[in-house]
Amino acid sequence: MSHRARPRTCRTVAAAAALTAAVALVVGAHPAPAEAAGADPARTQRVEYFPGPGAEPREVTVPADTPARTARRTPAPVDAAATVRALQRTGPVAGRLDLVVMGDGYTADEQGEFATDAEEKLDEIFDIEPYRSYRGLFNIWLVGAVSHDSGVSGDPTADVAKDTALGAHFFCDDLERLLCVDTDKVADHAALAPDADIVFVIANSAKYGGAGYSAVDLPAGSPFHGVATMSSDNDRSYLIGAHELGHSIGHLADEYQYAGYGPYPYPDEPAEANLTLSRDPGGSKWYRWLGADDPTGSVVGTYEGGGYYETGIYRPTETSLMRSLASTEFNVVGREAMIAGFYADADALTSSVPTSRPVGKGRRITVRLAPLTGLADLELTWSVDGRQVPWATGDLSVTPHKLGVHGRGHEITATVTDRTTAVRDPAVRAQTSDSLTWTVR
């Protein structure tokens, strides 16, 4: 596969306005039950929230103009006090998933505390597979948003109002654990980072809560795949971020169901990797995994219920992180989809030698592999005019002359493929492969 050049979205006022229109997660092309019941999407937004530790998430529809319970007194420009720094930079933004983390309810004197809280939450999230093995495909940027008040609105009770940079507040639409933000302010702050694919907002609070906004429903041109909010000092809130990345990167469906919603009402097969209409395990999308012992403690098969509906739809395992936050693991089907999502937006192979200009036969071509671990198993090969040079396998630096090239017009190609055992689908395996090609002058 030729080298992917990811288009990068410029940060504009229009992009910020697009994020303000954020609505929450959708399962594929099918609406959540709230919309199916007749809610007006022009006047509402859907948000995924998490009622309590271990509880199944919920999709809720709230008024689009829900007022934030804040006491904002100092609407200073974003760039007056906000700062940005790289917590982790593993490669160029064009070849990485760029995760932007910002805090709300942290005063100027608490910015060090925000950085510590952010690192702790990220370490917890990236301790879950496959995040742990593929952390090297991420750049992580910390944006220090400075608030007038310490803490956020709605903590501990609904009548508490705080003046904060991002307007984070519990009791969003009277739902105590729903932690909403001013998405326009979030977009403004995210624009300070070199790039932003995913955004986390960490609220300075020990109260359990969070929310998931997705870019699935955003107007074209929005810069983000999704936004997740979570509290800083609750020991289970990190699972909210882990779950939301499952949606925004892996395009995974929710595997939970709502009592009373009955049979799945759509005739077409869901697009997501972790739901199927096929009751026959052998006819499921994940037939290659059938009978496997799963990290969730289940055995891969077809389990009825998912995508919000009780019957007529099947998931791969009894439970998983996409079904309940009582689970801290993705099932193997979810892991495979996540790995596909990583490679859809990031490249394991990069080089500082441009491919746009011919190289001399004595020019040293050096490539870099992303620092992946654990489940990942990268294989680097070199070829000349499509014919592999076996002895060069694994070499990070070569010259055309050393590869046997003595004339002009030949093509040198470096190819990396992830041989991870966490992938069984040949189509996903193909997505893990990436290449760079140079022409010899």
**Is pLDDT of 163 > 50?**
yes
Tell me the H-state helices in 26-148.
33-36, 111-125
% of the chain beyond a pLDDT of 90:
71
**Is pLDDT of 191 > 70?**
yes
Question: How many residues does this entry show for the chain?
Answer: 441
Those residues with Cβ within 8 angstroms of residue 118's Cβ, 6 or more apart along the chain or in another chain: 87, 101, 103, 142, 200, 202
Q: Give the residue, 149 or 34, on which the prediction is more confident.
A: 149
Secondary structure element (H or E) that encloses residue 340, with its range: helix 332-345
pLDDT the model gives residue 50: 80
pLDDT tier at 71 (50, 70, 90 boundaries)? Answer: low
Secondary structure element (H or E) that encloses residue 332, with its range: helix 332-345
**Is pLDDT of 367 > 90?**
yes
226/234 Cα distance (integer angstroms):
22
Mean pLDDT within 193-219: 83
Residue carrying structure tokens 């090239």: 405
With contact defined as beta carbons under 8 Å apart, do 100 and 199 qualify? yes
pLDDT the model gives residue 31: 55
pLDDT the model gives residue 276: 97
**Is pLDDT of 213 > 60?**
yes
313/297 Cα distance (integer angstroms):
21
Map out the domains of the chain with their CATH numbers: 13-248 (3.40.390.10), 348-439 (2.60.40)
pLDDT tier at 56 (50, 70, 90 boundaries)? Answer: confident
The mean pLDDT value of the chain amounts to 86
Secondary structure element (H or E) that encloses residue 305, with its range: strand 303-306
38-53: pLDDT as tens digits: 444 444 567 787 877 7
341-364: pLDDT as tens digits: 999 999 999 999 999 999 999 999
